[in-house]
Structure 1
């Protein structure tokens, strides 16, 4: 019987970093060129550059890799660790998705989704000949939802601006993504302590940031500046110098005198006024903003338009609906319960979701947003129950709780300790649990997932392989936890996972049987 100790151990594969708050972030020292094919430069900044890349085991998806030169952040590594720590915590459809982190002697590498649509300010004129208020509302609603989510996590962004909103792809219905959490920080939700650092982009900076005592409401101000600018084409505050600009931000009132404001609704002007209140206590929270009349007034009309469009498209074969999924939400959630759930299988499904692009996931993303009626970026038990009632599914509250516990085991104790609305499904958890395995777990995809762990091409996955792969994702598991993962799916208990054993985890999807009919997998 084989033994893991018979393999050559990896050297220095996992290296921890500490944030200013002493939180640990784990990084991999694996050679990134073994994992990714590095491509063209997308942008250059003061600390490094961003390049396009494709994973060697999954060339169908593009990534953006932020390369930070170590010599330029020497002595400030804790700030970089803070950005990574925050990125790995965030899980929302309108926030840039973090994938992996590496480091070598020269650089740090942060791997994220590649937004092909470019910056918001570049995408608008390409998409619209005439950019209407309604289009602005669609974008702002999604970005405010993202901000409501991070505030709910106790995080303030501190640098919201047009340049920090990217567009996922070049399609008309592409999703905006909030990026660049380099200045983000935790804030005291009890309001007993305030942030003091003078950070941000001057034109978007809130009065209280200039004064040196602020909280998450500074993000609402920045969103107000963004909305003002999108509606009018002008910034709300100006100055010949930074001092004059800062003085105007603190003292001058906004005006709607530009010609562009003639075609802007009173509801839009009202929400701008609320967001640009000098006193942060008078500004609405992000969640409250989403309930303002400007966002809610046309919802019924928009829902009818969407429904009419869906009816007109029903049954038509076209590329846009080639990813259609006719399963009910109940059927999707039951899929995971029926599969059972080895811990390693659930982690692999999360990685699979990361390797798919948004078009492949578009139906599930839309389903998530329909269920998430409060736009919080998570799904509560009550929201899930309402969605199941609406589709005529028979699930009781108790069964829904069991489904959620199976998808997100950490919630098992929460059900007993907290009120039911507190039990939530995260965005990626929902996608990973509801994905159509019959469609996406192809032979090629299974091999790609296997090679995600087997980077040394031994054709086995060992404990060290799993530990290193999780470190690239800034996760850490104990040896005991990883050994338990292997034991669950390793029938001959030789402490390593072959490709056949890996495939057997997905037997219920019908993939393992299909592999018997195909040629042997050939490594490229």
Structure 2
């Protein structure tokens, strides 16, 4: 490790890699299919092709208001800046955004899958087991969001993205809001609105109600509250009587029926929190039926983790985003879930200790060694392993930090394709305010780059490789 470590300046957070792209969307991306696969009141979602990386991405397009007095731009940008630091395996990862005259374009990682219902139908199998897999992920995401004082308000069966293994992804966060006290505005799908939302004074428990509506629908294929017109739906909800569909035999799944009724308790004070709901015997029983998860070599890489400079961490993040396949991400996601026993979207030191005792048999680690390991991996300093921290720590960095992959990073950053990166842009992307003027000057001095304003590809490679060698050793 170098004597003057860059990472001592400020913690590295995965959200720092999300940046405003000042170029035009059309110059860097092409829409693959003009027909959106998801349309909400907050924007449309389409697949797009990234010219720089020759890869598919997901784009959300938001049309700007034409009213010059509208506060919509402030609300949208506040929402973007809040969501960029969310780090949970079931929440879509934003990569960059464009702020143009008529539209905002938000770019996400590529996701393989489609509509939740179509995936469940095509997969086949035990509907109760599949519903349990889905709802556990929903509640886990709510535990995470609520711990950050964020209420979601947009859960419905049409808005969840799902892959063939029933791993769900929350895409739409236009209705999400950070709150400190109950709020009043009714929002979201009417069938999923809670009684307290209709009454005009609600908080986090409204998300639990919507989870109950979703679970009822996944199990029976019917909504728990009748109605075609807006008022008839509201009247049905306010009567507070859950409709257990006559055409579905709820007596065959008594624990699931009881759980649905708990989530749809008319009194929000008696409704469980997301954390308590995850402890329900129906959820616990469903978890016990999961297939065993392969732990190695991810745990080996985790055990050998060495602290990186901020610059190197940012580059590793870029490489992982560009090269990790959906199957590889799914494997890490499953391992993360095994360690995250309370499903709050992060791994505590105690959870990692217990997980290692359960799964790692070839190499024993003492509790104190695991405590030190958490301190090294915890790059943002919040005392836990967030999902992206865990994801990066499970990678074999020798295989990631190759010349070929560093060239891919350069190509992605070389927007105008002139084989040059400005030093100002380098600092903004890889360090930002986390690197002081003094440390940045030291970096340039050590690499004889004080007089450089731009770097060629070869100079970029030499710069990064030397930084890696000076500040990090892979053992």
Secondary structure class of the residue paired with 2:54: strand
Equivalent residue runs for 1:190-339 within 5 Å: 193-262=181-250, 264-300=252-288, 302-303=289-290, 305-306=291-292, 326-327=296-297, 329=299, 331-337=300-306
Confirm or deny that 1:358 pairs with 2:311.
Answer: no
Aligned residue for 1:280, secondary structure, equals coil
CA contact (8 A) 2:240 2:266 kept: no
Other-structure match for 1:385: 353
Aligned mate of 1:58, from 48, 53, 56: 53
Please say if residues 184 and 202 of structure 2, whose CA atoms lie closer than 8 Å, have aligned partners that are also in contact. yes
- 2:153/2:187 contact within 8 Å kept: yes
Of 471, 475, 492, which residue of structure 1 is paired with 2:448?
A: 492
Deviation at 1:285, TM superposition (A): 0.7
1:342 and 2:309 are equivalent in the alignment: yes
CA gap of 1:26–1:351, structure 2 versus 1, over 3 A, is: closer
Q: Where does the alignment leave 5 or more consecutive residues of structure 2 unmatched?
A: 1-17
**Pairwise CA RMSD of aligned residues?**
3.0
Q: How far off its partner does 1:270 sit?
A: 0.6
Residues 322-355 of structure 1, C-alpha deviation per residue, up to 9 Å, x if partnerless?
xxx83362x3234431xx4211111121222222
Assess, with a 3 A threshold, how the Cα gap between structure 1 residues 360 and 327 changes in structure 2: closer, same or farther: closer
Check 1:119–1:299 CA distance in 2 against 1; reply closer, same or farther (3 A cut): closer
Q: How does 1:98-177 map to 2 (within 5 A)?
A: 98-128=94-124, 132-167=127-162, 169=163, 171=164, 173-177=165-169
Per the alignment, residue 478 of structure 1 pairs with 433
Q: Tell me, in whole angstroms, the C-alpha distance in 1 between the residues paired with 2:369 and 2:116.
A: 42
Structure 1 segments unaligned to the other structure (5+ residues)? 1-24, 311-324, 415-422, 471-475, 513-524
**Distance across 1 between alignment mates of 2:88 and 2:190:** 27
> Which piece of structure 1 moves more, 197-206 or 39-48?
39-48
CA distance in 2 between partners of 1:492 and 1:211 (Å) = 66
Deviations 1:109-163 (A, max 9, x none): 10113433211122222222x5521111111111211111111111110111111
Contact 2:137 2:168 in 1 (8 A): yes
Higher relative contact order (CA 8 A, sep 6+): 2
Q: Distance in 2 between matches of 1:379 and 1:50?
A: 31
Contact 2:111 2:326 in 1 (8 A): no
Report the CA distance shift for 1:144/1:67 in structure 2 as closer, same or farther (over 3 A): same
Query: 1:197, CA displacement in angstroms?
Result: 1.3
Instruction: Compare 200-209 and 461-470 and name the one that shifted more.
Output: 461-470
Q: Distance in 2 between matches of 1:149 and 1:479?
A: 26
Alpha-carbon deviation of 1:291?
Answer: 0.7
Q: Give the alignment's TM-score, normalised by structure 1.
A: 0.77
